A = this chain, B = another copy of it.
């Protein structure tokens, strides 16, 4: 039987190469076409030696495929994805171009008018833990951002259970690969090594996406989110520390309350293969290269505040891995197909 032919648009960014790496071992599909502007015409394995096993030439235009991923930057992605979707192809878009339901958010946050606002309603937000059945039926899935994935998964059980006040702080720490493969002083080795800093204090583009999804989880109490991302000297990984006041009386004091949190979170994510709820503080290292999101729900020392720590690999569960998870559902394949690798430790 022929394997599903899959294309990767813009294979030359980090999300694109990660798609290629993960799909190479996927038993149900075959990557048959990869595109990339600057490197068009070159062998994929010449530009990325670790991908030499895929015998492909980087093309300027996508060939005939049964399924496509777009790993283009925002705005450009919409331009390429829209005709594909209109042509009937199933697509997972890793960019932000179909994540926000409100077309008006695009000029504000991304600086362009959305060219196909009608597709925003069609597109499903690709967080399988929240939209499993919708994704399975979708033609176009908007793959969530790396920060939103870590933050929404950390807060969903508490918000849906009405456990917390809607005034939320999300303090995220990200490895440098999240900034992509494009050169900048902020990702120049000697500048980032032995350094930590906060950035995007004037408003990070992932904020509206976080707010949109948290509000859907908390329809009665609109959230107020303070989200500050930080860059730390490592390549892969995001750890988000989320803070919100517990509503009085919602959980028991002390150890008993923490156990109740564990029960709530474990129950919420039961049967979901890529979320691990744990009872010790997690390490990004334990997700290195794999598709897990590890979540630790607890309270602060005083016991009045919920503290949830979540971590994941920004290029896998935060990008390419989650995109494949979505593809699996859209193609009626088992959700974990091709994503079974354990984290590379140490």
Question: Within 8 Å of chain B (Cβ to Cβ): is A90?
Answer: no
Asked whether, in the complex, the Cβ of B278 is within 8 Å of the Cβ of A49, the reply is yes
Asked whether, in the complex, the Cβ of A235 is within 8 Å of the Cβ of B190, the reply is yes
Asked whether, in the complex, the Cβ of B176 is within 8 Å of the Cβ of A50, the reply is no
Given contacts A284-B195, A285-B191, A285-B195, contact A184 B181 (CB under 8 A): no
Query: How far does the alpha carbon of A50 sit from the alpha carbon of B48 in the complex, in Å?
Result: 27
Chain B residues whose C-beta falls within 8 Å of the C-beta of A207 in the assembled complex? 301
Chain B residues whose C-beta falls within 8 Å of the C-beta of A199 in the assembled complex? 281
Given contacts A52-B276, A226-B300, A307-B226, contact A235 B193 (CB under 8 A): yes
Query: How far does the alpha carbon of A192 sit from the alpha carbon of B173 in the complex, in Å?
Result: 15
Asked whether, in the complex, the Cβ of A289 is within 8 Å of the Cβ of B344, the reply is yes
Query: How far does the alpha carbon of A235 sit from the alpha carbon of B233 in the complex, in Å?
Result: 11
Asked whether, in the complex, the Cβ of A189 is within 8 Å of the Cβ of B181, the reply is no
When the two chains form the complex, which single residue of B233, B307, B341, B346 contacts A228, counting CB atoms closer than 8 Å? Answer: B307
When the two chains form the complex, which single residue of B53, B169, B177, B286 contacts A342, counting CB atoms closer than 8 Å? Answer: B53
Asked whether, in the complex, the Cβ of B243 is within 8 Å of the Cβ of A226, the reply is yes
Asked whether, in the complex, the Cβ of A17 is within 8 Å of the Cβ of B167, the reply is no
Among residues of B, the one whose C-beta sits closest to the C-beta of A187 is B189
Query: How far does the alpha carbon of A289 sit from the alpha carbon of B50 in the complex, in Å?
Result: 11
Most B CB within 10 A of own CB, among A21, A25, A189, A202:
A189
Asked whether, in the complex, the Cβ of A203 is within 8 Å of the Cβ of B301, the reply is yes
Asked whether, in the complex, the Cβ of B190 is within 8 Å of the Cβ of A187, the reply is yes
When the two chains form the complex, which single residue of B176, B245, B294, B342 contacts A167, counting CB atoms closer than 8 Å? Answer: B245
Mark interface residues in A277-290 (1 if CB within 8 Å of B CB, else 0).
01001111111111
Asked whether, in the complex, the Cβ of B195 is within 8 Å of the Cβ of A192, the reply is no
Copies of the protein in its oligomer? 4
Query: How far does the alpha carbon of A177 sit from the alpha carbon of B198 in the complex, in Å?
Result: 21
Query: How far does the alpha carbon of A13 sit from the alpha carbon of B38 in the complex, in Å?
Result: 28
Query: How far does the alpha carbon of A31 sit from the alpha carbon of B134 in the complex, in Å?
Result: 38
Question: Within 8 Å of chain B (Cβ to Cβ): is A197?
Answer: yes
Given contacts A48-B345, A345-B21, contact A173 B230 (CB under 8 A): yes
When the two chains form the complex, which single residue of B52, B281, B287, B301 contacts A226, counting CB atoms closer than 8 Å? Answer: B301
A residues in contact (CB < 8 Å) with B: 14, 17, 21, 24-25, 48-53, 167, 169, 171, 173, 175-177, 181, 183-185, 187-199, 201-203, 207, 224-228, 230, 232-237, 239, 241, 243, 245, 276, 278, 281-290, 294, 298, 300-302, 304-305, 307, 309, 311, 340-346
26 cross-chain CB contacts under 8 A: A17-B345, A17-B346, A48-B345, A49-B278, A49-B283, A50-B290, A50-B342, A176-B189, A183-B188, A187-B189, A188-B188, A191-B346, A193-B233, A193-B234, A194-B285, A194-B288, A195-B284, A196-B234, A199-B281, A207-B301, A224-B304, A226-B243, A226-B305, A226-B307, A228-B300, A289-B289
Told that A183-B184, A191-B285 touch, could you supply 15 new A-B pairs with CB distance under 8 A? A21-B342, A21-B344, A169-B169, A189-B189, A189-B193, A193-B233, A193-B235, A196-B311, A198-B309, A201-B300, A224-B302, A225-B302, A228-B241, A233-B233, A288-B344
